[in-house]
Amino acid sequence: MNTSTPSQPQSPPIDQSSSPQARPHQQSDMLREQPKEVELLILGAGWTATFLVPLLEKENLSYAATTTTGRDNTIPFKFNPDSGSAEPYKTLPKAKTILITFPLTGKGPSKVITGLYRSVHGAKNHWIQLGHTGIFNQLPDSYSDDDSPYDKSNERAIAEDELRALGGTSLNLSGLYGGTRVPRSWLPRLGQSKDDVRKRGAVHFIHGEDVARAIVASHRHPTPGKRWILADLRVYDWYDLILSFSAMAEGEESAQEEETRQQFAKWVGELMLEEDVRALPREMDKLGRKLDSRGFWKEHGIWPRHQRLG
């Protein structure tokens, strides 16, 4: 789910929304008969659903999911923030929790989508919006937690605040990985020069399985009005990761890709000499913006299953 490119060093842009390339868990019986009432409704069955759907089935939680096209036996639904018609919402089931995986922006959309759905299915429901941690850029040399200052002018933050005011919850995700998202393949997105690498400090990640676990935990234990940071409790150093990824990629990909990775490793080595970095990872005070993600896990009594980037 991170669709922006924040100014502070963090992971490359990651789309949290539904997309043609991100398909739900393949299953022959998925939503062939659309239920009229479910525990969880997924609005936008993209990458997140590939982890969430299997967990819901394992936990025996009823669910339904939408896509814009209705592919894989999902419900066809496309949110139009400019429409006041409740007709499209009549095809959706009544749900205890509604998960929005696609980004809402600015004032208005959160009120529209919740208002129209509730006009059809009633107001007894809890809403979860997947957001991104790029809004926590107000403390560049310190830790940001769930209650830290954030960029209130950010269009997605504005929409999240509107949803929270309506009793919803915002789960702000750090760098997403797992399944088709392979972090070592992101090196070319970091930049084209040593100076680009020089700007990279701290980065945070969370595995798709832990995102799914967090969503289920939020469904079972709603926290209306709350914004949570979701990460795996670690702070990663981009310099350290670049060297690790370069080693992991040896012999696995094309000669050009291998050359790119070794170039990045060379830049890191040169930067360590120039900046007098004796060993990796660098000291925490050298990494810039960092996230304290303990709050969500403590509140819900669970901890990340993927506690280190693999």
* 3-class state of residue 181 by DSSP: strand
Instruction: Quote the pLDDT of residue 11.
Output: 38
**Structure tokens given for 296:** 């969500």
Closest by Cα among 142, 130, 150 to 42: 130
Among 102, 214, 103, smallest CA distance to 157 is for 103
Q: Where is average pLDDT lowest: 16-25, 170-179, 209-218?
A: 16-25
Specify the pTM.
0.87
Taken as a whole, the chain contains a residue count of: 310
Complete domains list, the chain, with CATH: 37-189+204-235+292-300 (3.40.50.720)
271 has a pLDDT exceeding 80: yes
| 213-245 tens-digit pLDDT | 999 999 999 999 999 999 999 999 999 999 998
List pLDDT tens digits, range 178-214: 999 998 888 888 999 999 999 999 999 999 999 999 9
**Residues 79-137: tens digit of each pLDDT:** 999 999 999 999 999 999 999 999 999 999 999 999 999 999 999 999 999 999 999 98
140 Cβ neighbours under 8 A, 6+ residues apart:
8, 288, 289
What is the pLDDT averaged over residues 291-309? 94
Give the pLDDT confidence of 274-288 residue by residue, as tens digits: 999 999 999 999 999
What residues form DSSP beta bridges with 41? 64, 98
Cα–Cα distance between 235 and 10 in angstroms, integer? Answer: 10
Residue 220: what pLDDT?
Answer: 98
Q: What is the CA radius of gyration of the chain?
A: 20
Q: In this structure, what token pair is assigned to residue 261?
A: 């990775």
Q: What is the C-alpha to C-alpha distance for residues 77 and 160, in angstroms, rounded to an integer? A: 21
Q: Check whether 139 has a pLDDT greater than 90.
A: no
State the DSSP H helix or E strand holding residue 131, giving kind and residue range, or none if neither: strand 126-132
Pairing of strands 143-144, 290-291: parallel
